[in-house]
Amino acid sequence: MQIIKSFLLGIIFVLPLIGFSQSALFQQGTKDYILMERLDIKMQTDSNLAFSSLKPFNRKWWAHSLAAAEKMEASLGLSAIDRYNLDRAKLNNWEWSVTSDASYQSQHPVLKNVYKDPANLLRVHQSDFFLSVNPVLQFQFMKDNQSDQMLLINARGAAVRSQIGKRIGLQVYVTETQERVPDFASERFATYRAVPGAGVYKVNDKNTYDWMDARGSIYVQATKYLDVQMGHDKIFIGNGYRSLFFTDQSASHAYLNLNLRVWKFNYSSRVMELQPQYTRRGVGNDTLLWKKYAAIHYLSVAPVKWLTVGLFEGVVYGRMNRFEINYLNPIIFLRTAELNVGSPDNSFIGFDFKANVAKRMQVYGQVMVDELYTRFIREKKGWWGNKWAFQGGLKYIDVFGVNNLDLQLEANWIRPFTYSHVDTVANYTHFNQPLAHPLLSNVKENIVLLRYQPAARWYMQLRWIGWTGGTDASGLNYGNNIFRSNETRALSEGVSYFVSEKRKGRNINLWTAYEPRENLFVEANLSYRSLTGRSSTLFGSIGIRLNMQRREYDY
């Protein structure tokens, strides 16, 4: 570990001296991603959006895409709402998009220095220094049909980002949250001893979950083509609502990321420190948490203007509190490195793509292979160890010619035992949460997402999720629970979807919001969830949200 620490210190203190301009990233859940999806389909030729599968996305790249969209506005057929969203996106990426344009200044700033522009509470923008400071808030009151208790979300915090001397980018995001949730969510929290998206947490006497989310990263551009990122944050790899490679639904993790961008290639190499599963109901003070480690490589290639393909590989190390130095190499094939150390670890490979069609549609998909032996496929005996996952999806914008009415269809199939491992330390999880799909494995899921922006400040979304999942009936392991060792499997042959009992679930959500000022949403939700063997849940919420991603219960 001392070698790694020295390497990281060298990056922090040496690279800034030789760096070029570098940018902070903008997080998942921001409204910019709605416009990004639409521009990706409409523009097709944009070299930055070709690599938008890797999120959070680079603000500098996004600003270049916005500038290109302005130049191509006539040929793109942008609606009035698209143009409004484009202006708002420039405002939210001030350090790269906006200079002294008076139209982006607040007409009535508070005390002359607070909210000088609509998107930033405090902003400093000099030739060699940019600083943005914003509050983060979310207050939601919820009520369901299962209890008389008032449910709630109460989150407060701050978000800071900065550019220093055109050489260093950094950002910090800190929130504290209290959450009282519907019974089905509380049951999930108790079952997995984890709050989705959170790390260490506490539960008080009123069944209210309390946790903090602290993220921070520093970004340095080592050369014209290579940038280095180091910090504690989340990522999402993919073009769909779900990802089979890596999602941001688990807790943040410590990481070191190298990203190479040249010609039609973008290559990312990431090493991470993760948290193995634990059995206590939450963890707190005076608890030393053990560690495990992981590495992923993701190569995206845009061979033609309308098509991007990606290759993914990853490995989770099964040696508690010990980093495997072989996986520090950012270039070597991880599967080869894993074989060279005796093949004890959990390795994955994957392929994804997105193809834009006629400036109205996008077809996308992912294939994740955990383990695959063609001999056993030919034998057709249903060998348990052929573990893979598949995603297919379609995005269709301006449905039936209605501006800013967008439809997304998606299917996800995950075979039993996928993401699990013989060693429970090396399963594909972090802080008792899956790193990929929230429904674990042995599941088939369909998603319909209909999104509409009828006016500049109004947003609506209807989301329907239906799934069929196999269960680990009678305590036997049929491949649903990826936290269990696959050595405890009930079957070695005859394994397919839903061999044991199966459950069907539905999760329907209707969301609408009004944005009275930049990044402040007054919103309402109505949700319905059903699951075989459980009482159906109907719950609604109203509240406000500022500079923060919506809290979802989409499982």
Could you read off the pLDDT of 458-500 as tens digits, one per residue? 999 999 999 999 998 888 999 999 999 999 999 899 899 998 8
Number of domains into which the chain is organized: 1
Q: Residue 135 above 70 pLDDT?
A: yes
Residue 555 lies in a domain: no
Residue 521 in tokens: 């949403």
> Which is nearest to 122 in space by CA: 165, 161, 176?
161
Of 10-19, 141-150, 431-440, 488-497, give the lowest mean pLDDT range: 10-19
Q: 13-49: string of b/e by CB count within 10 Å (b at 16+)?
A: eebbeebeebbbbbbbbbbbbbbbbbbbbbbbebbbb
What is the model's pLDDT at position 111? 64
> Which is nearest to 261 in space by CA: 110, 9, 466, 54?
54
Residue 394 lies in a domain: yes
Average pLDDT, stretch 188-202? 90
* Per-chain mean pLDDT for the chain: 89
Residue 110 lies in a domain: no
Q: Residue 10 above 60 pLDDT?
A: no
Q: Residue 17 above 60 pLDDT?
A: no
Indicate the pLDDT class of residue 21, thresholds 50, 70 and 90. Answer: low
What is the model's pLDDT at position 200? 84
Residue 166 lies in a domain: yes
Residue 551 lies in a domain: no
Report DSSP letters for 107-150, one per residue.
Answer: SS-BTTTBSSBTTBSEEEEETTEEEEEEEEEEEEEEEESS-SSP
Q: What's the N-to-C CA distance of the chain in angstroms?
A: 38
Average pLDDT, stretch 181-198? 92
What is the model's pLDDT at position 80? 96
List Cα–Cα distances, 31 to 35, 96, 273, 510, 554, in angstroms. Answer: 7, 18, 30, 17, 19
Of 328-337, 358-367, 443-452, give the lowest mean pLDDT range: 328-337
Residue 105 lies in a domain: no
Cα(443)–Cα(492) distance, rounded to whole angstroms? 18
Average pLDDT, stretch 13-37? 74
What is the model's pLDDT at position 68? 95
Q: For a pLDDT cut of 90, what percent of the chain falls above it?
A: 70
CATH of the domain at 217: 2.40.160.130
Residue 212 lies in a domain: yes
Q: Taking the model in full, what pTM does it have?
A: 0.93
Indicate the pLDDT class of residue 167, thresholds 50, 70 and 90. Answer: confident
Indicate the pLDDT class of residue 401, thresholds 50, 70 and 90. Answer: very high
Residue 104 lies in a domain: no
What is the model's pLDDT at position 205? 74
What is the model's pLDDT at position 16? 41
Q: Residue 456 above 90 pLDDT?
A: yes
The parent domain of residue 390 ranges over 2-99+115-546
What is the model's pLDDT at position 113? 75
Q: List phi, psi (to 5°) of 437.
A: -80, 135
What is the model's pLDDT at position 283? 54
* 513-532 pLDDT per residue, tens: 999 999 999 999 999 999 99
101 CB contacts (<8 Å, ≥6 apart)? none
Cα(501)–Cα(521) distance, rounded to whole angstroms? 42
Structure-model confidence comparison of residues 115 and 508, the more confident one = 508
What is the model's pLDDT at position 319? 73
List Cα–Cα distances, 150 to 123, 140, 153, 181, in angstroms. Answer: 38, 10, 10, 9
Q: Residue 305 above 70 pLDDT?
A: yes
Judge residue 127's burial from the number of C-beta atoms within 10 Å of its C-beta, 0-12 exposed, 13-18 middle, 19 or more buried: exposed
Cα(240)–Cα(251) distance, rounded to whole angstroms? 20
Q: Residue 373 above 70 pLDDT?
A: yes
Q: Residue 203 above 70 pLDDT?
A: yes
Of 86-95, 106-115, 235-244, 366-375, give the lowest mean pLDDT range: 106-115
What is the model's pLDDT at position 342? 64
